[in-house]
Amino acid sequence: MHNTLPASNSSHLARGYTLALISAAFLSTTAPFIRHLTQTYEIPPLVLAMWRNFFVLLVLLPALSLLRPALLRVSRPHLLYLLGYGLLLAAFNSLWTTSVALNGAAVSTVLAYCSAAFTALLGWWILKERLDWAKIVAVLLALGGCVLVAEAFKPEIWQSNLLGITTGVLSGLAYAIYSLMGRSASQRGLNPWTTLLYTFGFASVFLLMFNLLPGRPLPGTASTPLELFWLKDSLIGWGILFLLAAGPTIGGFGFYNVSLSYLPSSVVNLVATLEPAFTALIAYIFLDERLSGVQILGSLMILSGVVFLRIYEGWLAKRGSNARNQY
């Protein structure tokens, strides 16, 4: 949909940051939805993740068929790339949904954003993205904020919930790789909505396979094929699950993918670290999850890192524009 423009273009930057912020606002509602479903209906996390991905496909496929049918066509090399991307998304969805079930909405969201450091380092190494002092400062603020919000400085947190913390950090690594592949998809000329359709479609198939593996080697899967329909005749439960897919998931991942057409993956991921602050507020209002003063401080650290990076990137863009005007 959008071609990659020079990073020095200020309007280009503003559009990318706006899209990333909209994405963070959408994504911040996913953890409370998941937390409600796992607590109220006790649905296994990977069963939930499978249906979430399938409902995204169910909404996007007819929508694109009617509005932009050309976006449904991809070449064979791109199809193989999207297949691998879908497998990665299935792994991320599995880790993320399990983390929410183990850690709660607020803490799991924060742990996922240790991906900021992973994305900055991997983006610099693999995609040759810029890694300067300002981005390192923003990453350190984001990581410090994550530690405070998750209260990872307390030994008892690691002793009592090691599986939850580990799952959350791994979800962050998977999210970082997802960001890099999204940026790579943009550079390959793939439309962000085409990418979203195929990755979620393939991910739903992989998650179905995860749930049907004999012997249940993965936690949080269906113990029998019948348990794939865990919600049974609960229209409210199915409705909430459909809303999770049709609203926060499509909006969040869709705008995230589009923002990767404008900004480096490391910058988009850093902007998205605002999601924990949004999620913490939603969890406080609707799920009665309380944040301590230290956790609020951590949220403010994450916010300050994003604001600082935006100001710095804007200054770089202005300086580059002034330098070009002199010649």
- Residue 172 CA to residue 252 CA, distance in Å, equals 16
Q: What's residue 130's pLDDT?
A: 75
Closest to 319 in 3D by CA, of 15, 14, 9: 9
pLDDT band for 160, please (50, 70, 90 cuts): low
For residue 295, pLDDT over 90 is answered with no
Cα-based distances in Å from 159 to 62, 98, 101, 153, 179:
48, 18, 18, 12, 31
Q: What's residue 4's pLDDT?
A: 42
For residue 195, pLDDT over 60 is answered with yes
Tokens of residue 184, six digits: 């790579």
Among the ranges given (60-74, 208-222, 269-283, 289-303), the one the predictor scored with the smallest mean pLDDT? 269-283
pLDDT band for 282, please (50, 70, 90 cuts): confident
Are 245 and 10 in contact by the 8 Å Cβ rule? The answer is no
The segment with the largest mean pLDDT, out of 42-51, 107-116, 214-223, is 42-51
pLDDT in tens, 77-95: 999 999 999 999 999 888 8
Helix (H, G, I), strand (E, B) or coil at 268: helix
Tokens of residue 76, six digits: 């064979």
Classify the phi-psi angles of 115: left when phi > 0, otherwise alpha if psi is within -120 to 50, otherwise beta. alpha
